[in-house]
């Protein structure tokens, strides 16, 4: 995927230096509609004076607007908050960090990515099980739509893949090269075709309900069989990187 140059301009406009900025959402997952906005996610670095002074800087910056003709949903976290999320069973921030759709990067981004194997645990499965349940509830609402159903399959397959390999893969097309679920290409094609094809009036709800239950069980089984550790081992390395980032961002 070619990165829209307007995204580089938007990243350069941010009020604090960025550790990284990547594309998340449907573009990362492999099924953006023609009308999909861009989900830009990243990490900003607050200067020391905004940490220790009387006027603290924002832990999180959120922007949802049309910028330079591009519909954008931007969220960045301060490096301290983001590192804290990395030490929890939060697969979403791991996906942001490892996204191959990179808008802005730094040497420290590469260093942080190298720590991912020390941050993944078998308990990240709970993130994907919970996210899948939320999306399944959305899908069961009338009328059934392709988007939440694709999210169900995406998160369950990402979770299974993570438990089995220790590696993050968020792109559903790439995941299905491994899992080969025959119904996914048609669902992805519907989503790519645009919102007019987003409803699934002809959906076989009983089939998808059974597939949802089967893949949930597969993720739970993969978690039990996983050799991933119980807790992250990278806390000290994250702490060292955080201190270095703060000391070099004094302005």
Write the burial class of residue 60 (CB in 10 Å: 0-12 exposed, 13-18 middle, 19+ buried). Answer: exposed
pLDDT for res 60: 97
For the stretch 119-167, pLDDT in tens is 999 999 999 999 999 999 999 887 888 999 999 999 999 999 999 999 9
Q: What is the mean pLDDT of residues 210-239?
A: 97
Strands of the sheet with 18-24, listed across from one edge: 60-67, 70-78, 38-44, 18-24, 102-104
CATH number at residue 115: 3.30.460.10
Residue 92's SS3 state is helix
| 101, 136: one domain | no
For the stretch 6-20, pLDDT in tens is 999 999 999 999 999
Q: What is the mean pLDDT of residues 213-234?
A: 97
Domain span at residue 92 reads: 5-119+232-247
> What dihedral do alpha carbons 181, 186, 188, 189 form, nearest 10°?
150
For the stretch 64-109, pLDDT in tens is 988 888 899 999 999 999 999 999 999 999 999 999 999 999 999 9
| 137, 89: one domain | no
CA atoms 225, 227, 228, 229: torsion sign: positive
**Could you give the CA distance from residue 46 to residue 190 in angstroms, rounded to a whole number?**
42
Rounded to two decimals, the pTM is: 0.93
For the stretch 40-73, pLDDT in tens is 999 999 998 888 888 888 999 999 988 888 899 9
pLDDT for res 152: 97
pLDDT for res 201: 75
| 109, 144: one domain | no
**Could you give the CA distance from residue 32 to residue 28 in angstroms, rounded to a whole number?**
8
CA 85-89-91 angle, to 5 degrees, is 80
pLDDT for res 204: 85
| 114, 237: one domain | yes
pLDDT at 248 over 90: no
Terminal CA-CA length for the chain:
35
pLDDT for res 195: 72
Residue 38's SS3 state is strand
| 145, 163: one domain | yes
pLDDT for res 48: 87
Supply the mean pLDDT for the chain: 93
| 180, 240: one domain | no
The 3-class secondary structure across 106-140, one letter per residue, is CHHHHHHHHCHHHCCCHHHHHHHHHHHHHHHHHHH
| 115, 237: one domain | yes
């Amino acid at each position: 995927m070619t990165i829209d140059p307007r995204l580089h301009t938007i990243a350069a406009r941010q009020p604090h230096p960025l550790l990284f900025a990547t594309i998340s959402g449907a573009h990362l997952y492999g099924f953006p509609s023609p009308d999909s906005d861009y989900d830009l996610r990243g990490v900003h670095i607050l200067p020391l004076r905004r940490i220790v002074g009387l006027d603290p800087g924002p832990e999180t910056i959120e922007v949802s607007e049309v910028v330079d003709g591009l519909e954008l949903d931007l969220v960045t976290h301060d490096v301290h908050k983001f590192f804290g999320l990395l030490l929890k069973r939060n697969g979403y921030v791991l996906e942001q960090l490892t996204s191959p759709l990179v808008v802005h990067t730094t040497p420290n981004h590469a260093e942080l990515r190298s720590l991912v194997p020390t941050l993944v645990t078998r308990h990240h499965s709970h993130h994907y099980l919970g996210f899948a349940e939320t999306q399944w509830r959305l899908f069961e609402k009338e009328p059934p739509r392709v988007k939440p159903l694709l999210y169900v399959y995406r998160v369950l397959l990402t979770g299974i893949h993570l438990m089995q390999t220790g590696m993050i893969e968020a792109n559903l097309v790439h995941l299905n090269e491994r899992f080969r679920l025959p119904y996914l290409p048609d669902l992805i094609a519907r989503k790519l075709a645009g919102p007019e094809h987003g409803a699934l009036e002809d959906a076989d709800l009983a089939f998808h309900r059974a597939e949802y239950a089967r893949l949930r069980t597969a993720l739970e089984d993969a978690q039990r069989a996983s050799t991933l550790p119980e807790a992250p081992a990278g806390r000290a390395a994250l702490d060292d990187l955080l201190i270095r980032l703060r000391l070099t961002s004094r302005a």
